[in-house]
Chain A
């Protein structure tokens, strides 16, 4: 279980992913959920790079390219998410997910 074992990276990625899911499911604040999403994305990016490093054939940097794309999309998504949180803030004075339950069954 060292730096040059794929298993460890997979383990770390899995831990990141699980914590991300935990954050998404339990946080009461929208920011918390956002943090969770970022964690899950990072887990995926890390796994891409890890597989790229250990599995991919010579000179193949698909993993890293994919990770770059992941980061780009994460950035874009964060921007839009925060814009929408801003809209919620301006109308509700708060981004507490317990209070944004007007749309329900």
Chain B
């Protein structure tokens, strides 16, 4: 019973945090709610026996990316979101598109769910703990998925390079617009 309760708490946190981060005009609140949503997702990972992943999620996502985004909110002039509201037609349009995307996601999920149910490789419940260990991911990464693993490292290097190069180009330039272009 407790597990069910905990599960619904995490689910509610995730969806509620996501909705809040999408709708709150105040950027900082939005960022914080994003953190809440991500933590909720980490919780769900725990329910899905992806313990390693939950830790990674909490450390990297909530710890790293969220803090980064929080810093980024400083760039915007109206953090409190008092007067920078997006035009009404964009909000309505966005809602419609979100509705359509939602419908797509739900319908797709439904179809895949019904279809996946027919798949015979339904797993017995008792072997849960076997897969809990993070070893599985390690065997995968060093085994068949070596190329993506290396690629990911290259990706990170490139991102690091890009971020640093872009930012340090402003070190010795005056903020004034250089060529007005």
Where the two chains meet, the residues of A that have a C-beta atom closer than 8 Å to any C-beta of B are 2-4, 6-32, 34-36, 38-39, 42, 45-46, 49-65, 67-69, 71-80, 82-91, 93-98
Contacts and interface: CB of A to CB of B under 8 A. Distances in A.
Nearest to B148: A69
Interface in B119-146: 119, 121, 123, 125, 127, 130-131, 136-137, 140-141, 145
Given A25-B98, A79-B163, A90-B170, A95 B44 contact: no
Contact of B48 (A30, A38, A49, A69): A49
A27 B86 CA distance: 6
Contacts of A11: 106, 109
B152 A3 contact: no
Interface in B43-76: 44-45, 47-50, 52-53, 56-57, 60-61, 64-65, 68-69, 71-73, 75-76
A42 B17 CA distance: 13
A25 B94 contact: yes
A96 B76 contact: yes
A78 B68 contact: yes
Given A39-B34, A80-B159, A85-B75, A2 B53 contact: no
Contacts, number: 260
A55 to B, nearest CB: 6
Contact of A49 (B19, B45, B167): B45
Interface string B1-28: 0011001000100110011011100010
A15 B86 contact: no
Contacts of B18: 15-16, 19-20, 39
